[in-house]
Amino acid sequence: MKQQITKFAFALIAALLTVSASAHSPSSVTLFRNADVVTMNTEQAEASAVAVRDRRIIAVGSDQDLSEKFASAATIIDLNGQTLLPGFIDAHGHISFTARTVVSPNVASPPVGPANNIDDVIAELKQADEQRPGEDWIFGFGYDDSLLAEGRHPTRADLDKVSTARPVGIMHVSAHFLSCNSKCLELAGISAETPDPDGGIIRREANSKVPNGVLEETAMAAVYATLPQPDQQTRLFLLDKAQDYYAERGITTVQDGASQLGEVALFEKAAELGRLKLDIVAYPVVSYIAENDVEISHSPSYKNRFRVGGIKLVLDGSPQGKTAWLTQPYLHPPHGQNDEYLGYPILKTEQVQKHIDAAFANNTPVLAHANGDAAADQLIKVVKSANKKFGAEDRRTVMIHAQTAREDQIDDMLAAGIMPSYFSAHTFYWGDWHRDSVFGKKRAERISPLRSSVDKGLKFTTHNDTPVVPADMLRLLWASVNRQTRSGKTLGAAQKITPYEALKSVTIDAAYQYFEEQDKGSIEVGKLADFVVLDQNPLNVAPQRIKDLEVMMTFKEGHVVYQRSEQD
């Protein structure tokens, strides 16, 4: 009965808004016409025109009807048959981290960067050494041992070839490893006598305790503590550039899914200065290395396009880096590990329980990074326990990545009120690596089990985890639909979903993940005018062509935040 009343209330509001639109002067209206509108609204799936006033949609319908109704609209945007969709929603990513990569040496492998081997990595870093003589650090991002010809992480000895006088560090593409030169290790205070921290590993030279430069998980924290921070103006400038990057890809709501408190302060300052052109939602990490008792205040409402959406927990590592926590051994264990190696947890179960209980007690939304199925078991266990203590309310706890979720875990997530956000772009970027080195064929074929989730009625989102992979939403859709690897092979055809189901995961269901489905995610009367314009309709082209579609324009609340130029 309550649900029926709620639906009636929203229908009444929508009707009143429509009546208001017809009575109001059209001089303040923007009319999008001659469009192929994909509404993501099952009650009005198709349209060809949309009218907007005061940041919100006031009418959705046929081109003929709305053109007559709003003939004297202040602004008429003729889309010439191009496709109008709800703005894409970044279900998980790191805009603050992305902002920093704008000026970092790119040591990624193709198609993202130039590094095919370790010599290429060294060459990029040497170029930075020559171009930035006044800076203390050289810090690159994106190297990928699975794609480098040597099939290994660059070490201290490799990076000492760049410089022994300046600290040199490079972040792994997964952000779960860091490789340092000797100066970097020295500044971080990491030596043969330094023990491995809880939840991390300092890799060592063979038959020695001497660090080889490669740091896993929490072992990276000592380096982070020594990195110099740009001044506020530089950070604001980089944030501007990062917003442009997301807008160019049709994204209107962006996540900072592992914020430090300093980054929250930066977003608040940018919001205060009116420098946010997109909505940004931050989830500060409350525990990564050890217990952290800092209280996080979250809000369901934006202030100048920024809000803290909840908290973030990190339960394990990376499958491509072989630090994700599994219940069955890796196909080929990483450096220094035996055949029974399962990866490892970042936090003890009692620590996770403490943080989940505190969040549930305060009705604070939770994002929990869990790549391996053992980490998924840990999260499901503590959420079930917290539900018993605090009641099974609508909390929408999000299992971030959920790469190796088993069929029984999909059932458990559905029962416990957990919503997975799948990193389905992995099927392309690391699908071959997962099949041949990480999991073996059987397990690799069901990474990101989208079809199983659809069939069981488990609502989910998909994401790029940018800057881990580029914020290319069309390639993300393509990956979810086709599950094609770099080598062109299909990885788990049984887990493919349809283009419409994939679109739901970055529009209306992503809005639901954020508790924002009443404002975003579909083109309906009363919702914000957040739109992306594509050159063609992803529901009508051949599935293999989805990644080749182009973003032509992006609108945030009816205002253009990106428009493709002839030079793009």
CB–CB of 342/374 below 8 Å? yes
The whole-number pLDDT of residue 293 equals 56
The whole-number pLDDT of residue 291 equals 46
Is 386 domain-assigned?
A: no
User: What CA–CA distance (Å, rounded) separates 215 from 513?
Assistant: 33
Q: Residue 203: exposed, middle, or buried by beta-carbon count in 10 A (0-12, 13-18, 19+)? A: buried
pLDDT in tens, 419-429: 999 999 999 99
**Confidence tier at 32 by pLDDT (50, 70, 90):** very high
The whole-number pLDDT of residue 45 equals 84
Check whether 357 has a pLDDT greater than 90. yes
Check whether 25 has a pLDDT greater than 80. no
Is 11 domain-assigned?
A: no
The whole-number pLDDT of residue 205 equals 93
pLDDT in tens, 15-24: 333 333 334 4
Among all chains, which residue has been given the structure tokens 């529009």?
507
The whole-number pLDDT of residue 519 equals 98
The whole-number pLDDT of residue 27 equals 63
Lowest mean pLDDT, pick from 171-185, 283-297, 503-517, 553-567: 283-297
pLDDT in tens, 531-545: 999 999 999 999 999
pLDDT in tens, 434-451: 999 999 999 999 999 999
CB–CB of 373/329 below 8 Å? no
The whole-number pLDDT of residue 138 equals 92
Is 129 domain-assigned?
A: yes
From the CB of residue 206, how many other CB atoms can be counted at a distance below 10 Å?
8
Is 7 domain-assigned?
A: no
Q: Taking the C-alpha atoms of 334, 336, 338 and 344 in order, what is their torsion angle to the nearest 10 degrees?
A: -60
Q: Residue 214: exposed, middle, or buried by beta-carbon count in 10 A (0-12, 13-18, 19+)? A: buried
The tokens of 566 are what?
């002839």
Is 474 domain-assigned?
A: no
User: What CA–CA distance (Å, rounded) separates 384 from 281?
Assistant: 26
The whole-number pLDDT of residue 297 equals 84
Percent residues over pLDDT 90 in the chain: 85
Among 97, 114, 96, smallest CA distance to 105 is for 114
The tokens of 77 are what?
């945007």
The tokens of 21 are what?
């639109």
CA 268 vs. chain centroid, Å, equals 21
The enclosing domain of 129 has a CATH number of: 3.10.310.70
User: What CA–CA distance (Å, rounded) separates 452 from 435?
Assistant: 19
Check whether 166 has a pLDDT greater than 60. yes
CA 319 vs. chain centroid, Å, equals 16
Contacts of residue 155, Cβ cutoff 8 Å, sequence gap at least 6? 179, 212, 213, 214
Among all chains, which residue has been given the structure tokens 């458990």?
412
Task: Tell me which residue range forms the domain holding 167.
Answer: 115-224
Phi, psi of 219 (to 5 degrees): -65, -15
**Can you count the helices (H) and strands (E) in the chain?**
19, 24
Mean pLDDT of 536-565: 97
143 dihedral zone (left: phi>0; alpha: psi -120 to 50; beta): beta
User: What CA–CA distance (Å, rounded) separates 498 from 503?
Assistant: 9
- Total domains in the chain come to 1
Q: Alpha carbon of 258 to those of 149, 155, 225, 407, 409: distances in Å?
A: 31, 27, 16, 28, 24
Is 521 domain-assigned?
A: no
User: What CA–CA distance (Å, rounded) separates 523 from 40?
Assistant: 7
The tokens of 119 are what?
């010599």
Lowest mean pLDDT, pick from 50-64, 143-157, 275-289, 311-325: 275-289
Among all chains, which residue has been given the structure tokens 């040496």?
105
Check whether 488 has a pLDDT greater than 50. yes
pLDDT in tens, 288-300: 433 445 667 899 9
Check whether 10 has a pLDDT greater than 70. no
Is 376 domain-assigned?
A: no
Is 543 domain-assigned?
A: no
The whole-number pLDDT of residue 305 equals 98
Which tops the pLDDT comparison, 137 or 508?
A: 508
Which tops the pLDDT comparison, 143 or 102?
A: 143
Which tops the pLDDT comparison, 81 or 336?
A: 81
* Sign of the alpha-carbon torsion through 152, 129, 142, 369: positive
Check whether 6 has a pLDDT greater than 60. no
Which tops the pLDDT comparison, 34 or 6?
A: 34
| pTM for the model | 0.90
Contacts of residue 43, Cβ cutoff 8 Å, sequence gap at least 6? none
The whole-number pLDDT of residue 74 equals 86
309-330 residues labelled b (16+ CB within 10 A) or e (exposed) = bbbbbbbbbbbbbbbbbbeebb
Q: How, if at all, do strands 177-180 and 83-86 pair?
A: unpaired
Mean pLDDT of 352-375: 95
pLDDT in tens, 389-406: 999 999 999 999 999 999
From the CB of residue 178, how many other CB atoms can be counted at a distance below 10 Å?
25
Lowest mean pLDDT, pick from 171-180, 409-418, 477-486, 519-528: 171-180
Check whether 245 has a pLDDT greater than 80. yes
User: What CA–CA distance (Å, rounded) separates 257 from 309?
Assistant: 10
